[in-house]
């Protein structure tokens, strides 16, 4: 399973007080490793300010909040990421 987190260094204006994109990325690695020790996850962090793809463009156009979390290319959660949404997506995959 591939977990992709899109973010950037600057915190989302709507996410003041929430973890940064990098903190969310690191937190997910730790939390998912503990919850699913039998799964192999491939983690990827993408700074959407430096990459040209559909999700980066959507983030630049404010269509999504960041950090944006994808599981195997499908959006799972955005902004203030909730583990229960990520867990539910993994359990259904």
pLDDT tens for the chain, 93 residues long, are 999 999 998 776 666 777 889 999 999 999 999 999 999 999 999 999 999 999 999 999 999 999 999 999 999 999 889 999 999 999 998
pLDDT of residue 19: 84
Report the candidate in 5, 3, 48, 2 with the shortest Cα–Cα distance to residue 23.
Answer: 5
Distance CA 59, CA 67 (A): 9
How is domain 2-92 classified at the architecture level of CATH?
3-Layer(aba) Sandwich (3.40)
pLDDT of residue 17: 77
Q: The pTM is what?
A: 0.91
């Amino acid at each position: 399973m591939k977990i992709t987190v899109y973010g950037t260094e600057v915190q989302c204006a709507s996410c003041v007080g929430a973890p940064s994109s990098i903190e969310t990325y690191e937190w997910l690695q730790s939390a998912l490793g503990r919850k699913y020790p039998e799964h192999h996850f491939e983690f990827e962090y993408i700074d959407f300010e430096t990459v040209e793809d559909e999700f980066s463009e959507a983030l630049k156009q404010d269509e999504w909040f960041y950090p944006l979390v994808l599981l195997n290319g499908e959006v799972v959660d955005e902004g203030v990421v909730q583990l229960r949404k990520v867990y539910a997506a993994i359990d259904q995959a």
